[in-house]
């Protein structure tokens, strides 16, 4: 079942946290001390090279098979440097003290080996006195090779360096914040005299830099291309033809990297000198389009087409822009086309070309819950509330997805999946798109103490620990499609070797994709929510799961609601620091301990029958009677009417029994059970004017769809195709809410309908 995110209750990760806490305690005990063992330079380098012999610098990825599972442990939360470099005082390796961020200081280093990458880019660096130390640089752009980030011989500055004990007992300078490291190029005056190249390279002109940049661009090395164009721009005459070419080339490379704000800034600079430059107008339009600013895109393209009416790309883009503006206004999308596109991505990264839709909702004060999302008008079951584009998402379906284990010992949170990759990518997005970053920084970050200061030395400050905390509180566990061929997406997962390893290490047994969607992050939790989210590629769709009056708070579920109240409370507390007080929790918490335990033990017994699902028909047949007794027993533990207290815990046992009954070819019982289960969830049906009408919508979740499909196929098997068709129509409405759109119903369940002989339309 898709979850808001993996709550990973503390006890499941106890072993790792205990180990981590031990390391932390030992490290804390050494706080302020000098490193114990000063490594011998030659020995240190020799052992490093020996250990990393045979690796190419990059330690593979999930799809490449040979990758080690990365374990990212964050415990040394320290804010980034927010003071200008000029105010810092130089320190040497010998001056560093353990478990301290050296405020007011910097250290000048030079890499003496080729780097290696696990989760961080790791190297050995020397200072000017020849002392060496391990340096771990986190959160660099994963698209760059480690040798490109930190080639041997690279001189760099670490501002306010953090010196720490490694989990292997050694020491290292750990750089968490991208804004804390300054890479110096050969001509930088801050490079110490002794590290300057002895032979002065021939002076290179802006034209040379442009040619180099173009070569890198052709080779798809966009980061390197931007570096060359930047060098060229340093010496070129402002407003000259070459200046404009360099700006426009850099804008194009920035667009490729997703640094849209920088691309727009470059295109705008070119437009300052040449207001009707065709490429500048087009690239500024592209940058606005990529950032979802379709009005500005339109303005730029209209201006361009007025001057250059034959520009085909601009015409095509303008048409697309009109479509985006319509989506933004109406929430009308070509869902089926989009779904097929997502399927075609295969194991590649993808992004749908569409706009965001913010429906009848607004952010408001939700009292003790902080902020929340509220309806601005009466909303009907199935209405589209949000169609939100990912701020950033890391799908695990992608071939080179990084599946790691991420621990934040300070926040006591652990996650298995793409979360470590997500944090790293978020940091890059925030660093290169500071305007867009504002929406992210406004999200809930729990008790984290934020530092002031958005920019330093003309560059954005990104606090990696803050990003991690926001990610922990707001990320959604996700897959690319909520339903694949009739079943919830995650049932289809074929685990890769790395995933299997991570799953083994994660007692919750789950690994998942993860992403950040800004608006949906404002929705608070309820165990019986009034909205449902679903995923379509990089889109998160939220629809109303019942009629909601104007001004009511919209809720969704963060956790697996098929568990009992105590487990749910534990999950919401350990994952998000709150105790749920929704009506379901209120009712269940007020039940006697005896009733709660009885229900729990009956559910556990019923779930054990899952093992028979893969056994012979005969064996399953003999389990039907005991299963019915168990289900009746669970039902008897509920005392309130189902529309006040839905029988959520009966969902999985019912689905198991349904499968037994289908195999035993007992369609009347299959239908009866499906109907009873739906009634038990609070649904109320009537037949009106030749239609099955859902008079009251009950508790909605993915397995509900199974109940509908069982009802439909059972009716068809009994020969009543008419009733089957009526149920099918009702099922489409429910599917729309669960899958986000109705257009793919046939796509998803066509096979089941075909087999049962139920007409499609």
Ligand X SMILES: C[S@@+](CC[C@H](N)C(=O)[O-])C[C@H]1O[C@@H](n2cnc3c(N)ncnc32)[C@H](O)[C@@H]1O
Q: Footprint of ligand X on this chain (CB under 6 A)? A: 369-372, 443-444, 473-474, 521-522, 524-526, 576-578, 580
Give the shortest CB-529-to-ligand X separation in angstroms. 10
In the complex with ligand X, the residue whose CB is nearer, 514 or 524, is: 524
| Shorter beta-carbon distance to ligand X: residue 210 or 546 | 546
Q: How far is the CB of 82 from ligand X (least distance, A)?
A: 24
Quote the least distance from Cβ 530 to ligand X, whole Å: 12
7 or 382: whose CB is closer to ligand X? 7
Yes or no: say if 60 and 69 are a contact pair by the CB < 8 Å rule.
no
Are the beta carbons of 509 and 313 closer than 8 angstroms?
no
Q: Give the shortest CB-626-to-ligand X separation in angstroms.
A: 37
The closest alpha carbon to 288, from 263, 313, 314, 252, belongs to 263
Contact 113, 124 (CB under 8 A): yes
Nearer to ligand X, 162 or 522 (CB): 522
Question: Hey, which residues does 109 pair with through a beta bridge?
Answer: 156
Cβ distance 204 to 223 under 8 Å? Answer: no
Instruction: Tell me which residue has tokens 């330690």.
Output: 59
- 314-323: buried (b, 16+ CB within 10 Å) or exposed (e) per residue? beebbebbeb
Minimum CB separation from ligand X for residue 424, in Å? 21
Spatial separation of the C-alpha atoms in residues 759 and 722, rounded to whole Å: 9
Q: How near is the Cβ of 580 to ligand X at its closest, in Å?
A: 5
Q: What is the DSSP string of 393-407?
A: EE-TTSTT---EEEE
CB of 434 to ligand X, least distance (A): 21
Tokens 């437009």 -> residue: 271
Nearest residue (CB) to ligand X, 90 versus 369: 369
Shortest approach of ligand X to residue 248 CB, angstroms? 40
Chain centroid to CA 745: 26
Q: What angle do CA 376, 325, 365 make, to 5 degrees?
A: 25
Which helix (H) or strand (E) segment holds residue 154: the answer is: none
Q: Which is nearer to ligand X, 291 or 442 (CB)?
A: 442
CB of 366 to ligand X, least distance (A): 6
Q: Which of 73, 129, 49, 121 is nearest to 96 (CA)?
A: 129
Stated as kind and residue range, the H or E segment containing 283 is helix 278-290
Element at 156 (helix H, strand E): strand 155-159
Of all residues in the shown chain, the one whose CB is closest to ligand X is: 370
**Least spacing, CB of residue 367 vs ligand X, in Å:** 9
Q: Would you say 244 or 468 has its CB closer to ligand X? A: 468
Nearer to ligand X, 112 or 443 (CB): 443
66 versus 370: smaller Cβ distance to ligand X: 370
- Pick 371 or 412: Cβ nearer ligand X: 371
Query: What are the tokens at 4?
Result: 């808001």
Q: Nearest-CA neighbor of 253 among 263, 244, 261?
A: 263
Q: Least distance to ligand X from the beta carbon of 195, Å?
A: 48
Task: Please identify, using beta-carbon distances, which residue of 225 and 411 lies nearer to ligand X.
Answer: 411
CB of 555 to ligand X, least distance (A): 7
CB half-sphere exposure, 222, CA atoms < 13 A: 15
Closest approach of ligand X to the CB of residue 385, in Å: 15
Beta strand 513-516 with 392-394: parallel, antiparallel or unpaired?
A: antiparallel
Query: What is the residue whose two structure tokens read 């130089």?
Result: 90
Q: 3-state DSSP call for residue 451? A: coil
Provide the minimum distance between the beta carbon of 221 and ligand X in the complex, in angstroms, as a whole number: 38
Q: Is 168 helix (H, G, I), strand (E, B) or coil?
A: coil
Question: 394: left (phi > 0), else alpha (psi -120 to 50), else beta?
Answer: beta
Nearer of residues 479 and 555 to ligand X, judged by Cβ: 555
**b/e per residue, 73-105, with b = 16+ CB within 10 A?**
bbbbbbbbbbeeeeebeebebeebebbbbbeeb
State how far the Cα of 701 lies from the Cα of 528, in Å rounded to an integer: 10
Max Cα–Cα distance, the chain, nearest Å? 91
Tokens of 119: 């989760």
Nearer to ligand X, 580 or 709 (CB): 580
Q: Using DSSP, state whether 203 is helix, strand or coil.
A: coil
Judged by beta carbon, residue 303 or residue 410, the one nearer ligand X is: 410
Helices (H), 168-221: 206-218
Helices (H) and strands (E) in the chain, counts: 24, 30
Rounded to an integer, what distance in angstroms lies between the CA atom of residue 510 and that of residue 490?
Answer: 10
* Closer residue to ligand X in complex, CB, 359/575: 575
CB neighbour class for 493 (10 Å; exposed up to 12, middle 13-18, buried from 19)? middle
- Shortest Å, Cβ 565 to ligand X: 13
């Amino acid at each position: 079942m898709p979850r808001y995110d993996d709550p990973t209750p503390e006890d499941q990760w106890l072993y790792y946290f205990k180990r981590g806490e031990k390391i932390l305690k030992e490290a804390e005990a050494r706080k302020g001390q000098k490193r114990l063992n000063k490594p011998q330079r030659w020995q240190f380098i020799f052992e490093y090279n020996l250990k990393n012999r045979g690796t190419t610098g990059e330690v593979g990825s999930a799809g490449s098979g040979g990758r080690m599972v990365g374990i990212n442990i964050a415990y040394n939360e320290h804010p980034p440097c927010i003071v200008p470099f000029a105010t810092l005082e130089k320190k040497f390796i010998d001056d560093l003290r353990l478990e301290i961020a050296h405020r007011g200081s910097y250290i000048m280093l030079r890499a003496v080996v080729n780097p290696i990458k696990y989760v961080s880019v790791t190297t050995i660096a020397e200072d000017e006195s020849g002392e060496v130390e391990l340096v771990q640089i986190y959160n660099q752009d994963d698209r760059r090779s480690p040798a490109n980030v930190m080639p041997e011989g690279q001189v760099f500055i670490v501002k306010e360096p953090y010196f720490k004990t490694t989990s292997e007992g050694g020491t290292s300078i750990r750089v968490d914040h991208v804004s804390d490291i300054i890479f110096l190029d050969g001509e930088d005056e801050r490079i110490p005299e002794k590290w300057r190249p002895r032979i002065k390279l021939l002076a290179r002109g802006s034209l040379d830099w442009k040619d180099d940049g173009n070569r890198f661009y052709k080779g798809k090395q966009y980061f390197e291309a931007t570096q060359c164009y930047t060098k060229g721009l340093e010496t070129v005459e402002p407003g000259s033809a070459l200046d404009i070419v360099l700006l426009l080339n850099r804008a194009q490379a920035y667009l490729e990297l997703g640094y849209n704000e920088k691309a727009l800034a470059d295109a705008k600079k070119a437009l300052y000198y040449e207001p009707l430059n065709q490429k500048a107008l087009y690239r500024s339009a592209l940058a606005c389009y990529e950032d979802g600013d379709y009005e500005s895109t339109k303005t730029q393209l209209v201006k361009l087409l007025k001057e250059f009416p034959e520009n085909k790309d601009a015409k095509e883009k303008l048409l697309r822009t009109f479509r985006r503006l319509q989506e933004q206004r109406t929430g009308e999308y070509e869902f089926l086309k989009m779904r097929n596109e997502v399927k075609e991505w295969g194991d590649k990264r993808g992004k749908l070309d569409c706009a965001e839709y913010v429906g009848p909702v607004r952010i408001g004060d939700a009292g003790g819950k902080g902020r929340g999302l509220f309806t601005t008008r009466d909303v009907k079951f199935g209405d589209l509330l949000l169609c939100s584009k990912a701020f950033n998402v890391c799908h695990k379906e992608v071939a080179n997805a990084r599946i790691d284990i991420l621990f934040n010992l300070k926040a006591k949170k652990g996650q298995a999946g793409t979360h470590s990759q997500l944090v790293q990518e978020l940091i890059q997005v925030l660093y290169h798109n500071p305007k867009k970053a504002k929406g992210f920084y406004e999200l809930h970050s729990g008790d984290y103490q934020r530092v002031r200061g958005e920019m330093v030395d003309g560059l954005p400050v990104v606090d990696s620990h803050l990003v991690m905390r926001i990610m922990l509180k707001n990320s959604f566990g996700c897959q690319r499609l909520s339903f694949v061929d009739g079943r919830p997406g995650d049932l289809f997962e074929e685990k890769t070797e790395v995933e299997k390893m991570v799953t083994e290490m994660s007692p919750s047994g789950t690994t998942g994709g993860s992403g950040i969607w800004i608006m949906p992050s404002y929705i608070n939790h309820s165990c019986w929510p009034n909205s449902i989210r679903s995923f379509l590629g990089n889109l998160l769709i939220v629809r109303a799961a019942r009629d909601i009056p104007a001004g009511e708070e919209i809720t969704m579920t963060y956790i697996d609601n098929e568990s009992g109240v105590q487990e749910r409370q534990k999950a919401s507390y350990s994952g998000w620091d709150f105790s749920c007080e929704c009506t379901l929790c209120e009712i269940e918490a007020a039940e006697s301990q005896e009733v709660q335990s009885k229900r729990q033990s009956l559910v556990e017994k019923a779930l054990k029958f899952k093992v028979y699902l893969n056994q012979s028909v005969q064996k399953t047949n003999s389990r039907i009677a005991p299963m019915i007794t168990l289900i009746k027993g669970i039902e008897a533990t509920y005392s309130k009417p189902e529309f006040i207290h839905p029988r959520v815990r009966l969902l999985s046992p019912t689905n198991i029994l349904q499968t037994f009954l289908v195999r035993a070819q007992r369609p009347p019982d299959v239908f009866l059970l499906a109907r009873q289960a739906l009634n038990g969830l609070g649904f109320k049906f009537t037949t009106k004017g030749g239609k099955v009408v859902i008079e009251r919508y009950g508790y909605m979740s993915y397995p509900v769809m199974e109940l509908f499909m069982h009802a439909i196929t059972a009716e068809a098997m009994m020969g009543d195709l008419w009733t089957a068709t009526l149920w099918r129509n009702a099922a489409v409405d429910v599917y729309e809410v669960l899958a986000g759109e109705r257009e793919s119903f046939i796509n998803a369940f066509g096979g089941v309908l075909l087999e049962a002989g139920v007409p499609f339309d």
